[in-house]
């Protein structure tokens, strides 16, 4: 290894999304991540092309700490004790009455204890805890909306397609230069 590192000697430099080495343009990064996932769902899984159309207001839906409840397509924002503060079904806000209907009078999300103790992923939920994940929360909401529009039942099956989109877009072979 050489004693000095020169940027001029590098063709490509990659950074992590932990903001250690650079300041990211989250708006542009989120748009690119969303578009890559949505394009895969449209081109490979037969989802509606409408998933590719976004307005600037659409991004207001995204914020850290959302949990997608894969059993019913709800996205929930939780208090630190597991109380559902607000929720949507797809991208549509649930009323207080709807939240109580789904989560009971105490508005308790049933999987909170497993989320709070392990922070692992589950077949029943996915926790969107970082900026890299946020475009996926928006896409999940829009997929649930699309399933309703088609008259399809919303269940955790759509998540398999989401995982396939993630795997497709981040497999290491996608980053190899052609011919190598």
**pLDDT score at 121:** 61
- Residues 38, 39, 44, 48: what is their CA dihedral angle, to the nearest 10 degrees? 60
**pLDDT score at 139:** 92
**pLDDT score at 11:** 67
Which two structure tokens, joined as six digits, stand for 2?
A: 């050489």
Residue that the structure tokens 């939240």 belong to: 99
Give long-range contacts, CB 8 A cutoff, 24+ apart: 16-23: 17/130, 17/131, 17/132
d(CA 70, CA 72): 6
Please give the model's pTM, rounded to 2 decimal places.
0.76
**pLDDT score at 18:** 55
Each residue's pLDDT expressed in tens, for the chain with a length of 180 residues:
457 767 777 666 666 655 555 556 777 888 888 999 999 999 999 999 999 998 877 777 777 778 888 888 899 998 888 899 999 999 999 999 999 999 999 998 877 777 655 555 677 888 887 777 788 889 999 999 999 888 888 877 888 998 898 888 877 665 555 544
**pLDDT score at 180:** 45
Which residues are marked as active site?
16, 18
Residue 32 exposure: Cα atoms within 13 Å on the Cβ side: 10
């Amino acid at each position: 290894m050489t004693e000095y590192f020169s940027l001029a000697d590098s063709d490509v430099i990659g950074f992590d999304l932990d903001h250690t080495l650079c300041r990211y343009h989250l708006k542009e990064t989120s748009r690119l991540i969303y578009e890559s996932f949505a394009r895969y769902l449209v081109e490979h899984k037969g989802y509606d092309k409408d998933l590719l159309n976004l307005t600037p207001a659409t991004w207001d839906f995204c914020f850290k700490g959302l949990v997608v409840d894969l059993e019913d397509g709800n996205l929930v924002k939780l208090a630190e004790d597991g109380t559902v503060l607000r929720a949507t079904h797809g991208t549509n806000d649930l009323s207080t009455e709807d939240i109580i209907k789904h989560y009971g009078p105490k508005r308790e999300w049933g999987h909170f204890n497993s989320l709070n103790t392990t922070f692992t992923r589950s077949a029943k939920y996915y926790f969107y805890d970082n900026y890299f994940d946020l475009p996926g929360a928006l896409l999940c909401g829009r997929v649930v909306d699309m399933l309703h529009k088609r008259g399809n039942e919303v269940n955790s099956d759509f998540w398999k397609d989401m995982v396939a989109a993630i795997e497709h877009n981040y497999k290491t072979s996608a980053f190899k230069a052609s011919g190598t």
